[in-house]
C-alpha cells in the first residue's frame, strides 16, 4: 500500500475511521447493555468486552488530553496547573474517603484505601497533563 499524500484524502480517511470507531463503540455498548439487562452488573463486567471498552476509554481520554494541551492558546504555568489539579484531586479523595469511612459497617481503613486509590488514579492524569504542558512550553 502506498502512503496517502493528498490532504483531502487523509482528512476523509480520518473521518471514516471516526465513523468506524463510533459504530464499534455503539456495538460494544449494545452487547454490554444486553449483558447488564440479562445477567446483571456482574455478568456485564465478566465479559471480555468490558475490559476492551475500559482500555479504549482510557486511551481515548489520554489522546484527547494530548490534543487539548496542544490546542491551548494561553501560556498557562504548568506548575500552577499541576498544583491546582492535585489540590482538587486531594480534596475529592479526602471527601470520598470520609464518606466511605462514615458509612455503616465500613472500617476507616477502607475509606483511607479507597481515598488513596482515587487520589492516585486522579493524580496520574494531572502529572501527564503537566508533562505535556511543560514539553509544549519548552518548545
- How many other CB atoms are there within 10 angstroms of residue 36's CB atom? 17
Q: How far apart are CA 69 and CA 54, in angstroms?
A: 23
Mind listing the pLDDT tens digit for each residue in 19-45?
Answer: 999 999 999 999 999 999 999 999 899
CA triplet 112, 113, 116: central angle to 5 degrees? 85
Place of cell 482510557: 58
Q: Residue 77 — very low, low, confident or very high, per pLDDT cuts 50/70/90?
A: confident
Range scoring the smallest mean pLDDT among 3-12, 42-51, 110-119, 122-131: 3-12
Cα 60 to chain centroid, rounded: 7
Is residue 61 pLDDT above 90, yes or no? no
- pTM, entire model: 0.68
Mind listing the pLDDT tens digit for each residue in 102-127?
Answer: 988 888 899 999 999 999 999 999 99
Amino acid at each position: 500500500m502506498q502512503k496517502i499524500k493528498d490532504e483531502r484524502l487523509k482528512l476523509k480517511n480520518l473521518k471514516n475511521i471516526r465513523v468506524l470507531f463510533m459504530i464499534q463503540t455503539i456495538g460494544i455498548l449494545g452487547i454490554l447493555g444486553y449483558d447488564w439487562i440479562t445477567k446483571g452488573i456482574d455478568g456485564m463486567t465478566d465479559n471480555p468486552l468490558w475490559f476492551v471498552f475500559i482500555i479504549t476509554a482510557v486511551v481515548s481520554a489520554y489522546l484527547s488530553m494530548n490534543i487539548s494541551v496542544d490546542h491551548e492558546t494561553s501560556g498557562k504555568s504548568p506548575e500552577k496547573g499541576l498544583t491546582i489539579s492535585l489540590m482538587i484531586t486531594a480534596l475529592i479523595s479526602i471527601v470520598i474517603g470520609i464518606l466511605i469511612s462514615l458509612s455503616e459497617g465500613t472500617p476507616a481503613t477502607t475509606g483511607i484505601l479507597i481515598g488513596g486509590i482515587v487520589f492516585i488514579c486522579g493524580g496520574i492524569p494531572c502529572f501527564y497533563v503537566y508533562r505535556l504542558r511543560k514539553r509544549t512550553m519548552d518548545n
